[in-house]
């Protein structure tokens, strides 16, 4: 649909973004970076929503609405996450995820 | 219309309940005299209404075609369960309820007035008067009850107010223990009463006294032919109901609470534990007398036997007690035994029904002279500040009015003419003679014992050794003397009321006459009893001590009240607590609680072992989540491919 770019290429990009996000979430130790990875995962999903909506049901709007919704939620979630990270920083003198284990039991 | 004329009686319970509510809720903000005044005004109003009701009932409107009828001037449906089962609240007037109205309001009014002097300056004066009003309300409700269920409700209410008043000095451990004992023992007896009510009403389909007592009604025939363990069901029901009455009236073996109840203030003992509440059991049997007499003579034999035994038993104990209030308590048990015996030996109607009349007559006269004895004892205690007879002696010089009034009461209870007790006791003995001579001779002997222990008390307190008192004993204040003199006059003259013209088993008046063959021996043994007491106690001497050492076994048995309290303690502690309750408690603690605790322990142990799985590392959980998701996807692919 978009000039010169096929649906397969777009899905390759979104899949790559998704697994880059998963990878970052699992291996990076900095909480800010982990948050960024989570944003990557979310946006990969948003791309999928838009693409499938466009190619499969062009006369419907659910996919667009869903991705807008996910973007809004992501913004709110980022605000909450950063607030938590700030508090973690005050408590732990750092934002290394390995040090945040005092609430296990 | 007589019903309209008597509708004022509904104001008696209402006024007393209002007095209780006002004094109970706001009494602590009032001056003591105001609070006492409200209660006293209510009971005086009740007394005036009772007297006018009695006048109109007995002299104009109650007698219809030569028979005193049951009138129901007020009836209100209170609870309706189904179309056939509903419970009413109402007022029933018949000879015995009108007579009881007069007794209760008279004694209660005198006790209210007396209490102004006796309880003066006492902490909780307002509370005391609130409870007195509650008691008077409950007692009037009981007396005027129109059905068994209403009677049962007020029966429990008098039990509660008795509990509250025995425990009035709630900082005194003995008073607290006594109030608990009274409540538990009477409550246990009331279990029998409740079972009896249920049994009776299940078969007769009614609670109402007029229906139950209707001579042409179906109450007895509806239970005909039913029996349990060889005894007819009606007899079972009536014996169970009598069990409730025996508990309230302190009949053997449910009597143990009454002597301890003397821990309450003395006017309370006079009102509740001498004149009114303890005769509720007699009243209950009299109330259902038609059923007892016509349907279950076996139950009446039980009543007669228990009454006779208790009267002898209590009189023997009273001989050796030294606490003046306890002597009077045992004397009360003994006299109530007389009343029960008289009911038990009575027939239904005419000369046969002499016992019923005699019982009610004795209830009436006993209320007057026993209240007087207790109030006199209160005046003595007020003067000497002790209950113990050993601390008293020679008081006739200090308490002249109390002395005379106490003497009148003692002569009345000893059955010396012309005082009230002579007439009623004579009728009881005549009724016993007509039924069973063994009962007659027992009661004749008890009459002698009664005279002896009463005059032992009288001589020890008012004569005997002249003591020097730390504080000069002083005569009681005017309010107390007024009540004493009023009841003294009543004790002297009420015996002349021709009772059989008013109160009979079937409502038909009849004439009684003096039974000289009964009266002469009964007066003779009374005089013998007094003479022995005078010989032993009028002057300080050693006769009594020598007699006690001559018969150590009997003396000890009597002094220790035949060890009945110890027997109860042994049964409750050794058999019930140690034998039954302790194993049950062990089972509960170790088996029931143990299984619950075991489940909790296993859960805790499993959690302890598995909590190491939780590292607290966010990214470990992330790995688990991702691997799980991957595994799910692989599984789906695997199944999807098939």
How much of chain B exceeds pLDDT 90, in percent? 20
Per-residue confidence band for A44, with pLDDT thresholds at 50, 70 and 90: very high
Minimal CA separation from A102 to chain B, in Å: 7
Which pTM value belongs to this model?
0.78
Task: Give the separation between CA B213 and CA B198, rounded to whole angstroms.
Answer: 17
Mean pLDDT value across residues B83-110: 88
The predicted structure's pLDDT at residue B157: 92
Residue B83 has pLDDT above 90, yes or no: no
Least confident range from B177-186, B279-288, B304-313, B423-432: namely: B423-432
Which of B611, B619, B623 lies closest to A97 in CB terms? B619
d(CA B199, CA B181): 28
Domain A7-92 is of which CATH architecture? Orthogonal Bundle (1.10)
Residues 13-52 of A with CB under 8 A from B: 22, 25-27, 34
The torsion of the CA quartet B584, B589, B594, B597, rounded to 10 degrees, works out to 150
Considering only the beta carbons, identify the residue of A25, A98, A104 that sits closest to B614: A104
- For residue B594, count other CB atoms closer than 10 A to its CB: 13
Q: What's the pLDDT at B557? A: 77
Pairing of strands B63-64, B231-232: unpaired
Q: Does the beta-carbon distance from B616 to A27 stay under 8 Å?
A: no
DSSP chain A: --TT--HHHHHHHHHHHHHHHHHHHHH--BHHHHHHHHHHHHHHHHHHHHHHHHHH-TT--HHHHHHHHHHHHHHHHHHHHHHHHHHHHHHHSS-BGGG--TT--
Model confidence at B3, in pLDDT bands (50, 70, 90)?
Answer: low
SS3 B178: helix
Tell whether B619 is within 8 A of chain A (Cβ): yes
Neighbouring residues of B176: CB distance < 8 A, sequence distance ≥ 6:
B167, B170
Distances (CA, A) of B220 to B67, B70, B204, B284: 22, 19, 8, 18
In sequence order, the 6+-apart residues with CB closer than 8 A to the CB of B496 are B418, B423
- Exposure string for B387-412, b = 16+ CB within 10 A, e = fewer: bebeebbbbbebbebbbbbbbbbbbb
Cα(B90)–Cα(B86) distance, rounded to whole angstroms?
13
pLDDT in tens, B497-507: 887 778 877 77
Phi, psi of B169, rounded to the nearest 5 degrees? -85, 75
Confidence bin at B70 (pLDDT 50/70/90): confident
Q: Which of A:72-101 have CB within 8 Å of B?
A: 97-98, 100-101
Question: With contact defined as beta carbons under 8 Å apart, do B540 and B465 qualify?
Answer: yes
Cα B182 off chain centre by: 9
Which residues in chain B are closer than 8 Å to A97, comparing Cβ atoms?
Answer: 617-619
Longest dimension (CA), chain B: 122
Q: What is the average pLDDT across B173-191? A: 90
> What pLDDT, on the 0 to 100 scale, is given for residue B506?
77
d(CA B210, CA B281): 19
Q: Is the pLDDT of residue A24 over 90?
A: yes
Contacts of B626 in chain A (CB under 8 A): 22, 26
| Model confidence at B165: pLDDT above 60 | yes
CA separation for the pair B261, B256 (Å, rounded): 9
Facing residue for B615 by CB, picked from A26, A27, A104: A104
**Domain segments of chain A as ranges:** 7-92
- B71-80 and B67-68: which strand pairing? unpaired
Is B611 near chain A, with CB under 8 Å?
yes
> Which residue of B614, B615, B622 is in closest CB contact with A25?
B622
Residues 6+ apart with CB under 8 A from B490: B106, B368, B372, B420
A25 with B614: Cβ contact below 8 A:
no
Q: Is B402 a residue whose pLDDT tops 90?
A: no
Segment B212-260, tens digit of pLDDT:
877 666 767 777 677 777 778 888 888 899 999 898 888 888 888 888 8
Per-residue pLDDT band at B116 (split at 50, 70, 90): confident
Helix, strand, or coil (residue B436): coil
Is the model's pLDDT at B1 over the cut of 50? no
Name residues whose C-beta falls within 8 Å of residue B384's C-beta, 6 or more positions apart in sequence.
B391, B392, B395, B469, B473
**DSSP assigned state of B465:** S
Q: Are B248 and B285 in contact (CB under 8 A)?
A: no
Q: Mean pLDDT throughout B51-78?
A: 83
Q: Considering only residues B605 and B514, tell me which one the structure prediction assigns the higher pLDDT.
A: B605
pLDDT, average across residues B6-19: 88
Q: What pLDDT shows up at residue B471? A: 73
**How large is the average pLDDT for residues A13-20?**
94
pLDDT computed for residue B216 by the predictor: 67
Whether residues A101 and B616 touch (CB distance < 8 A) is answered with yes
DSSP letter at B61 equals: I
Q: How confident is the model at residue B2 (pLDDT cuts 50, 70, 90)?
A: low
- pLDDT tops 80 at residue A46: yes
For residue B522, pLDDT beyond 70: yes
Minimal CA separation from B172 to chain A, in Å: 55
B608: nearest CA in chain A? A105
pLDDT band at A22 (very low <50, low <70, confident <90, very high): very high
* Cα separation, B303 vs B422, whole angstroms: 23
Q: Is B616 in contact with A26 (Cβ distance < 8 A)?
A: no
Task: Write down the mean pLDDT value for chain B.
Answer: 86
**Does residue B358 surpass a pLDDT of 90?**
no
Q: What pLDDT does A3 receive? A: 67
Between helices B552-559 and B543-550, what is the axis angle to 10°?
100
Q: Is the ipTM of this complex over 0.90?
A: no
């Amino acid at each position: 649909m978009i000039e010169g770019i096929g649906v397969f290429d777009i899905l390759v990009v979104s899949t790559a973004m998704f697994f880059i996000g998963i990878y970052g979430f699992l291996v990076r130790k900095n909480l800010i970076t982990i948050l960024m990875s989570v944003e990557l995962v979310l946006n990969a999903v948003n791309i999928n929503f838009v693409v499938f909506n466009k190619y499969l049901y062009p006369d419907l709007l659910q996919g667009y609405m869903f991705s807008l919704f996910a973007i809004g939620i992501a913004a709110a979630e980022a605000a909450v996450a950063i607030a938590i990270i700030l508090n973690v920083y005050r408590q732990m003198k750092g934002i290394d995820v390995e040090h945040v284990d005092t609430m296990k039991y | 219309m007589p019903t309209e004329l008597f509708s004022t009686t509904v104001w008696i319970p209402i006024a007393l309940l209002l007095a209780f509510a006002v004094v109970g809720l706001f009494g602590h903000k009032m001056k003591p005299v105001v609070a006492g005044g409200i209660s006293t005004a209510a009971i005086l109003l009740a007394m005036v209404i009772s007297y006018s009701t009695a006048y109109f009932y007995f002299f104009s409107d109650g007698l219809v075609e030569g028979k005193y009828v049951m009138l129901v001037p007020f009836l209100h449906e209170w609870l309706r369960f189904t179309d056939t089962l509903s419970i009413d609240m109402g007022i029933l007037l018949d000879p015995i309820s009108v007579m009881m109205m007069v007794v209760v309001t008279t004694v209660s009014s005198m006790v209210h007035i007396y209490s102004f002097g006796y309880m003066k300056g006492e902490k909780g004066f307002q509370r005391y008067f609130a409870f007195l009003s509650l008691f008077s309300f409950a007692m009037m409700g009981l007396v005027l009850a129109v059905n068994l269920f209403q009677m049962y409700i007020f029966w429990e209410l008098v039990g509660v107010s008795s509990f509250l008043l025995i425990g009035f000095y709630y900082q005194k451990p003995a008073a607290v223990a006594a109030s608990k004992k009274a409540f538990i023992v009477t409550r246990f007896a009331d279990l029998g009463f409740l079972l009896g009510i249920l049994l009776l009403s299940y078969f007769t389909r009614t609670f109402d006294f007029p229906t139950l007592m209707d001579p042409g009604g179906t109450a007895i025939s509806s239970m005909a032919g039913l029996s349990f363990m060889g005894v007819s069901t009606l007899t079972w029901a009536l014996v169970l109901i009598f069990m409730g009455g025996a508990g309230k009236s302190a009949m053997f073996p449910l009597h143990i609470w009454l002597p301890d109840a003397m821990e309450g203030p003395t006017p309370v003992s006079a009102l509740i534990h001498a004149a009114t509440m303890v005769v509720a059991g007699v009243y209950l049997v009299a109330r259902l007398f038609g059923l007892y007499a016509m349907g279950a003579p076996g139950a009446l034999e039980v009543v007669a036997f228990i009454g006779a035994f208790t009267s002898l038993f209590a009189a023997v104990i009273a001989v050796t007690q030294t606490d003046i209030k306890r002597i009077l308590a045992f004397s009360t048990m003994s006299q109530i035994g007389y009343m029960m015996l008289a009911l038990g030996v009575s027939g239904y109607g005419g000369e046969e029904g002499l016992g019923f009349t005699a019982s009610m007559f004795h209830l009436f006269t006993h209320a007057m002279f026993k209240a007087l004895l207790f109030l006199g004892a209160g005046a003595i205690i007020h003067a000497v500040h002790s209950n113990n007879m050993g601390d008293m002696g020679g008081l006739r010089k200090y308490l002249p009015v109390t002395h005379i009034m106490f003497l009148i009461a003692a002569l009345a209870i000893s059955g010396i003419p012309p005082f009230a007790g002579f007439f009623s006791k004579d009728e009881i003995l005549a009724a016993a003679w007509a039924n069973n001579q063994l009962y007659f001779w027992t009661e004749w002997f008890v009459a002698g014992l009664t005279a002896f222990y009463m005059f032992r008390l009288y001589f020890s307190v008012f004569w005997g050794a002249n003591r020097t008192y730390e504080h000069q004993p002083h005569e009681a204040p005017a309010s107390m003397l007024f009540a004493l003199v009023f009841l003294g006059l009543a004790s002297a003259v009420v015996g002349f009321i021709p009772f059989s013209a008013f109160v009979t088993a079937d409502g038909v008046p009849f004439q009684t006459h003096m039974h000289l063959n009964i009266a002469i021996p009964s007066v003779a043994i009374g005089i013998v009893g007094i003479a022995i007491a005078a010989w032993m106690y009028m002057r300080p001497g050693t006769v009594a001590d020598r007699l006690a050492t001559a018969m150590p076994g009997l003396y000890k048995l009597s002094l220790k009240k035949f060890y009945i309290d110890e027997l109860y303690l042994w049964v409750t502690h050794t058999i019930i607590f140690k034998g039954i309750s302790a194993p049950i408690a062990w089972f509960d603690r170790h088996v029931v609680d143990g299984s619950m605790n075991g489940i909790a322990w296993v859960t805790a142990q499993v959690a302890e072992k598995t909590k190491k799985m939780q590292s607290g590392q966010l990214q470990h959980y992330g790995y688990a989540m991702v691997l799980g998701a991957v595994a799910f996807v692989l599984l789906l692919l695997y199944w999807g491919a098939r």
